[in-house]
Amino acid sequence: MPYDLKGLSMAKKLAAELLGTFILVFFAVGSAVAGFNLLGPVGVAFAFGLVLLALVYAIGPVSGCHVNPAVTLGALLAGRIPLNEAVGYWVAQFVGGIAGGALLKLMTSSFGKVVDRTGGLGTDAYGKHISEGGAFVLEIVLTFLLVFVVLMVTEKAAAAGFAGLAIGLSLTVIHLVGIPLDGTSVNPARALGPALFQGGSALGQVWLFILAPLVGGALAAGVNLFLRSESKALEPERTAEA
């Protein structure tokens, strides 16, 4: 489901990325903050996947629906977007993530009966169930999967119309694995927004949940480029066989 975004203004793209990231943080992280005791890890994982699935179809035609600095880095390194556009996306995504975190903080601190069921505003953390090094590797691997799927299913040769489903299900599986271990970032904007308002150890650890996903996104771009170059190299042979 590749989108032709060349004719759209940068303002519309950035607005879509800001709004999309805000929605992802407020609704998906909010599902854990407000309902983790009822939903559990499985329910929260599906909340993340379903929100992203909806966003792909809603704002994909406007901005490509990155809503994640690691996805934007992957797209940049894979040659999908220019640097100036990537920088704009990063700014919009972090602003959207911070706005989502701010509203979650407001909901849990200013409206009396809204209880934070995670005890940490849905922030990511290592130490209790996984070491610092383990969390770093985990976030790289999980983000690699997400960005790799995004890049592969949005290739021109990919099956049209199914990208959102593949991307949403991938994020669901990623959270099923990651939530019990470190909460799951795979998205620097999602990690930073709530951490800024939670403070304490969450803010002290957030560097890992920003850096590791970017490494995973870069690795995914490298593999995408390798597979894409291999497929192009085989095209003449396949044509000849046909």
Query: Tokens at residue 103, please?
Result: 């509203």
Q: Under the phi-then-psi rule, with left for phi > 0, alpha for psi from -120 to 50, and beta for the rest, what region is 42?
A: alpha
Amino acid at 141: V
% of the chain at pLDDT higher than 90: 82
For residues 225 and 68, give the distance between their C-alpha atoms in angstroms, rounded to a whole number.
20
Interaxial angle between packed helices 200-241 and 188-198, expressed in degrees from 0 to 180 and rounded to the nearest 10: 170
Compute CA distances 155 → 70, 132, 227, whole Å: 18, 35, 11
pLDDT digits (tens, 9 = 90+) for 18-77: 999 999 999 999 999 999 988 999 999 999 999 999 999 999 999 999 999 999 999 999
Q: What is the CA radius of gyration of the chain?
A: 18
pLDDT surpassing 60 at residue 1: no
Q: Is the whole model's pTM more than 0.85, yes or no?
A: yes
Instruction: Give per-residue pLDDT as tens, 82-114.
Output: 999 999 999 999 999 999 999 999 999 887 678
* Domains, in order of start, for the chain: 10-233 (1.20.1080.10)
